[in-house]
A and B are shown apart, each in its own frame.
Chain A
Amino acid sequence: MDRGDELTDMRNRLKVLRAERDWSQAELGGRVGVSRQAVNAIETGKYDPSLPLAFKLARVFDMPIEDIFDDGERHDAA
């Protein structure tokens, strides 16, 4: 349900992508300019990143934003 704020049911693959590269939360945070706590909050769904931060994360992992974040609303065409 879209409530017009940051409390959407956003899911993300940050933890998996980070583990694949053997990066700590601090390592990822340092690469995109946020704290380890911010990375943890995003991974656990306590905080949805801003669009600029989402783009930075996408660039760091070299993949499209929608391959990292999923708002549960996307329906692939059959």
Chain B
Amino acid sequence: MESDMTLREPGLGELADRRRARRKLLVFSGIFAAGLPIGFFAGMLEKGGDDGFMAGTLPPWFAVLAVAVFLLATVGGGLAWRTRMDELDRRDHLQTNSAAGAAIVIGFPVWFLLWKGGLAPAPDAAWLFGAAMLAGAATYLYLKLQQRV
């Protein structure tokens, strides 16, 4: 790793690199800005959620609206992100998504068999989703740290 802390004028390549970084930040900010209100209003509009995390219900209109915003942000934002990432980013995201998928493909049968054997509660979709997110995040972090060493 080397520092770019120089006082000279940036070259054409550096300007292009900065533009790329700005575009990526813009798309990421857009995805984040779309997701934030979903969580905020879901917390406000949830009814009967005193028994635990995500235990309550949401008004149907909000559920439909939240799904629409979520799909727009993830699918649309994902496609926009893809056009702005380079091939190293693309490889890292592919491996990240593979790890997340593997967490479900491996995790569910293991949990299912343990449940059938009376050793664990019934498989829970939210926990499996969390495991997939965790596996993806850990993989991405590992790849990025490995590239920095």
Question: In the complex, what distance in Å separates the CA atom of A47 from the CA atom of B20?
Answer: 20
Majority-rule SS of A interface residues: helix
Whether A24 pairs with B91 at a CB distance below 8 angstroms is no
Q: Are A26 and B12 in contact (CB under 8 A)?
A: no
Q: Is A17 an interface residue (CB 8 A)?
A: no
Known contacts A38-B88, A41-B88; decide if A31 and B16 are in contact (CB<8 Å). Answer: yes
- What's the least CB distance linking B40 to chain A, in Å? 32
B88, closest chain A residue (CB): A38
Main secondary structure on chain B at its contact with chain A? helix
Report how far A41 CA is from B10 CA in the complex, Å. 22
B87/A30 in contact, CB under 8 A: no
Q: State how many residues of chain B have any CB contact under 8 Å with chain A.
A: 22
Q: Mark B18-48, 1 if CB is under 8 A from A, else 0.
A: 1011000000000000000000000000000
Q: B101-127: which have CB < 8 Å to A?
A: none
A12 at the interface (CB under 8 A from B): no
A24 CA / B6 CA spacing, docked (Å): 10
Q: Does B2 contact A (CB under 8 A)?
A: yes
A36 and B4 contacting across the interface, CB-CB below 8 Å = yes
The verdict on B86 contacting chain A, using a C-beta distance below 8 Å, is yes
Q: Given the complex of chains A and B, what is the CA–CA distance between A38 and B143 in angstroms?
A: 12
Measured between C-beta atoms, what is the minimum distance from A20 to chain B in Å? 15
**CB-CB nearest in chain A for B2:** A25
Q: Is the CB of B13 within 8 A of A47?
A: no
Residues of B within 8 A of A28 (CB): 13
Closest chain A residue to B3, Cβ basis: A24
6 A-B pairs with CB atoms under 8 Å apart are A23-B13, A25-B4, A30-B15, A30-B20, A33-B16, A38-B88
5 smallest beta-carbon distances between A and B, as pairs: A30-B13, A30-B16, A30-B17, A27-B13, A34-B86
Residues of B within 8 A of A (CB): 1-2, 4, 6, 10-18, 20-21, 86-89, 91, 146-147
